[in-house]
């Protein structure tokens, strides 16, 4: 909603948090490719 403006520091912290999550995800994926079989089995079980 354009009428409500979010404070700039809140936007910045959420952006920083998103970047951190993205970096963790990419590390997790790189790690997963090294151990793809067990990683995929664990990930599938946790998703179900």
pLDDT digits (tens, 9 = 90+) for 5-43: 778 888 888 888 889 989 988 888 777 666 666 666 666
Q: How far is CA 22 from CA 19, 25, 27, 39, 43, in A?
A: 5, 5, 9, 18, 17
Instruction: Tell me what pLDDT residue 41 has.
Output: 65
Whole-angstrom Cα distance, residue 8 to residue 46?
36
The set of residues, in sequence order, having a beta carbon less than 8 Å from that of 39 and lying 6+ positions away, is: 31, 32, 33
Instruction: Tell me what pLDDT residue 46 has.
Output: 61
pLDDT at 1 over 60: no
């Amino acid at each position: 909603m354009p009428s409500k403006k979010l404070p700039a520091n809140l936007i910045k912290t959420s952006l920083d948090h998103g970047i951190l999550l993205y970096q963790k995800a990419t590390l997790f994926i790189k790690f997963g490719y090294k151990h793809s079989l067990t990683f995929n089995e664990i990930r599938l079980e946790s998703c179900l």
